[in-house]
Amino acid sequence: MTQINTFFYLSLFAFGTLFGSFSSVIIYRLKSGEKGIMTGRSHCGSCNAILRALDLVPVFSWLINKWKCAHCKKAVSAVYPFLELSAGLLFTMIWYFLIDFTIVLTWDSLEIIKLLFWCFIGILSIIYIFYDILFLEIHEWVMATWVWITALAVWVQTMFPEFQILPHLASGIVHSNLILGSALWLTGSMIGILYVIMIRGYDEKIDSVLLIWIIASLVWFKYFFWINLTEIAILNWLIWALAIFTFFFLQILISKWAWLGGWDLRIALMIGLALWTTLAFPGMMLTYLSGTVLSLGYLGYSKWKHKDKWLDAQVPFGPFLAIGFFITMFYQSDILNLMAIYF
């Protein structure tokens, strides 16, 4: 059994590096607008020479070609192997922390779908993290896909509680079709409004009014049906997505877009959808902790290397949000146990 488990770990790591290599192609083509994102042949960014199969092996090709293009001999950025290794490591950790190996061996369809879902989320994470690192922004297509795929998973889990892809509150309460239908409609429309706030760039006063209207709608729903909103999984997700979104939005208002940007609002919405009540707060704390430690390290390095650019160094916040999110997901049981003891 141990050998089989090790084989699957190595296989997922290898698949992760392959998808990481593919992600690097998507990142640059999304930025450049080059056609054929999914079907175009890979080519050198400097000389446009079509790459051979031997040039596309993750990490190995970069090393064997001595981090240069095999055709024009120009240097190839170390971002490529780092991205591929990061994807492989993330795939392996998803398998280790979130998937039950023994259930997968029985070809359980729910566990296999759960594995595929998290691998898909992992690839989207790698794309947006390195897109943010390279270009200090996040592509709209990537975040839209993440938000709506996560929302779909929440919807499925609301209708079928046994289908546990994401952590949820198992209240055991069965609500009528009218309540569930209304909750689904409310959640979909509210997420749509939050997304409109992000992509339309309205005046902050209009955005604030929209957020207040969302909160008022939730209050109305609560008193119309006389229920606890957190008893319905999809509303629980909506509330925490709204809470984290509003927290980030207030930072933008206070700093006048100096601390965070619109891209961070998209990630906040995603994290709020993927973390439930007791995980949302520690997830944000881990995000800011990792952000503080790594940012100080990066800024210190920038100051040491470029003594006149201390104030000009820009640190993307998106990767820290991903780090906090995945640490929370991987160690959710330990986090909940600590919170039960100390809080």
- List, for residues 207-258, the tens digit of each pLDDT value: 788 888 888 888 898 888 887 777 777 787 778 778 777 887 787 777 776 6
pTM to 2 decimals? Answer: 0.81
Contact of 154 with 166, CB cutoff 8 Å: yes
What span, in angstroms and rounded, lies between the C-alpha atoms of 81 and 62?
7
Closest CA to 325 of 294, 285, 265, 277: 285
Q: Which residues fall within 8 angstroms of residue 319, CB to CB, at 6 or more apart? A: 129, 132, 133
pLDDT for the residue numbered 82: 92
pLDDT for the residue numbered 290: 74
pLDDT for the residue numbered 199: 66
pLDDT for the residue numbered 169: 47
In the chain, which stretches have pLDDT less than 50?
A: 169-172, 311
Handedness of CA 128, 281, 118, 163 (dihedral sign): negative
What span, in angstroms and rounded, lies between the C-alpha atoms of 97 and 115?
11
pLDDT for the residue numbered 37: 62
The runs of H, that is alpha helices, within 99-203 are 101-105, 109-135, 140-159, 177-200
